[in-house]
Amino acid sequence: MAERPTRALLAALGLPDADLHALPDSPLRFPDGAHYRVEIPSTEGPRPFRAVLDEAARLDVPVVRVSQGSGVFMHTDAELDELASLGRGAGVEVSLFARPNAGWGVSAMARAPVGPLIAPVAHGTEQLVAVIEDVRRAAAHGIRSVLLQDIGVLSVFDALRRSGDLPADMQAKVSVMLPVANPAAARVIAGLGANTINIPTDLTLAEIAAIRAAVDVPLDVYVECPDNLGGIVRYHELSELVRVAAPVYLKFGLRGTVDPYPAGSHVAESLDAFARERVRRARLGLDLLARAGGDVFRSSGVGAAGLAVPVTARAAAGAPA
């Protein structure tokens, strides 16, 4: 067996041999040349989406992507059509979660102390089928971005996209619940077809820099997140996050809350208020970024190249728009 140091072996594989504490500038950009984009997570339906759009216009926040966590199946056909129409009209990407998973089913292990390890996975073939059905239903309604949290689902998604059974422009946004915490894992997930990767909320700048050195796909980074994802609040790192991680989606969640999934009309007022406050938090973050000299960084505007903006129903059916 070759007597080579492990770090040398990693380097030979084209991976960083250490976390990058020098925090090098990322040379990568979005297709439009931007360093960062703003995402508002947990936008659970048309009403919160309208709230996001309204508040983004009022506060001049360049929101270009909203994401949802409850699952495609938690929306009626009319609601999916409305989400697609709102996104298309505003030039904003709409990314819907493809559910279910072990944490939502009968898995006892998902509710045990080791639950976080198993809860995100598609539990058995029937959940795998259900998740892919969620993806296909989203595509049929013109949605072009789905959130995935299982490596098997991701591999099937990519195979169906390559075979033409899913639209070629459909994008896979890998959830924070599929923990991609090191450069080797990031390379694997990108190789399985991920278009963006939501990294764990608690990675240091040096750890993020090492992941950026291993993959070219955009990274999704929580600037603030709910308590069940760690309650991270890292606004004062924004300029360094953008510099090191570009191209990066900056996600503005809310500490002091937990996820509302599956959401619905029974919590409509809270969902609306949460949506508006997340946009306000984004405004605070962007203001702080500017005060820190971050005006050298460019953000994307609505309709930017590479965004998975919903298409019309006719286009989703394969007919000319």
HSE-CB at 239 with a 13 A cutoff on CA atoms is 11
Rounded to whole angstroms, how far apart are CA atoms 37 and 254? 18
What one-character DSSP code corresponds to residue 299?
B
The rounded distance, in Å, linking the Cα atoms of 304 and 129 is 33
Which tokens go with 63? 């929101």
Give the pLDDT score at 314: 64
Q: What is the pLDDT of residue 102?
A: 82
Through-space distance between the first and last CA atoms of the chain, rounded to whole angstroms: 60
- Specify whether the CB–CB gap between 147 and 99 falls below 8 A: no
H-helix or E-strand spanning residue 66: strand 63-67
Angle at 235 between CA 233 and CA 237, to 5 degrees: 110
CA angle 153, 180, 134 (to 5 degrees): 25
Report which DSSP code applies to 21: T
Question: 143-159 pLDDT, tens per residue?
Answer: 999 999 999 999 999 99
Distance from C-alpha of 89 to C-alpha of 87, rounded to nearest angstrom: 5
* pLDDT of res. 293: 87
For the chain, the 3-state helix, strand and coil shares in percent, each to the nearest 5, are 45, 10, 45
For residue 2, the model assigns a pLDDT of 59
Q: Which domains does the chain have, with CATH numbers?
A: 34-316 (3.20.20.70)
CA distance 191 to 201: 22
Q: So what's the pLDDT on residue 319?
A: 57
Q: What is the dihedral of CA 114, 119, 121, 126, to 10 degrees?
A: 120
Instruction: Decide the pairing of beta strands 63-67 and 248-252.
Output: unpaired
Q: pLDDT > 70: what percent of the chain?
A: 98
Share of residues in the chain with pLDDT > 90 (%): 82
User: Per-residue pLDDT tens for 251-286?
Assistant: 999 999 877 888 888 888 989 999 999 999 999 999
Q: pLDDT at position 118, please?
A: 78
Confidence band, pLDDT 50/70/90 cuts, at residue 195:
very high
228: pLDDT strictly greater than 80: yes
> Taking residues 160-182, what's their average pLDDT?
97
H helical segments located in the chain: 6-12, 46-59, 77-90, 115-118, 124-140, 151-163, 183-191, 205-214, 238-245, 268-291, 313-316
Asked whether the beta carbons of 197 and 225 are under 8 A apart, the reply is no
Give CA–CA dist 310/84, Å, rounded: 5
pLDDT in tens, 30-88: 999 999 999 999 999 999 999 999 999 999 999 999 999 999 999 999 999 999 999 99
Give mean pLDDT, residues 14-24.
97
pLDDT level of residue 321 (50, 70, 90 thresholds): very low
Which structure tokens are listed for 7? Answer: 């770090």
Number of residues that make up the chain: 321
Which among 266, 267, 302, 291 has a CA at the least distance from the CA of 94? 302
Contact 316, 170 (CB under 8 A): no
- What's the mean per-residue pLDDT of the chain? 94
Q: Which of 241, 236, 278, 272 is nearest to 256 (CA)?
A: 278
Q: Which residues contact 55 (CB under 8 A, 6 or more apart)?
A: 61, 275, 276, 279, 280
- pLDDT band (50, 70, 90) for residue 161: very high
20-24, 64-68, 123-127, 183-187: range with lowest mean pLDDT: 123-127
Taking the C-alpha atoms of residue 217 and residue 117, their distance in angstroms, rounded to an integer, is 25
Segment 96-145, tens digit of pLDDT: 999 998 888 888 888 888 777 778 888 899 999 999 999 999 999 999 99
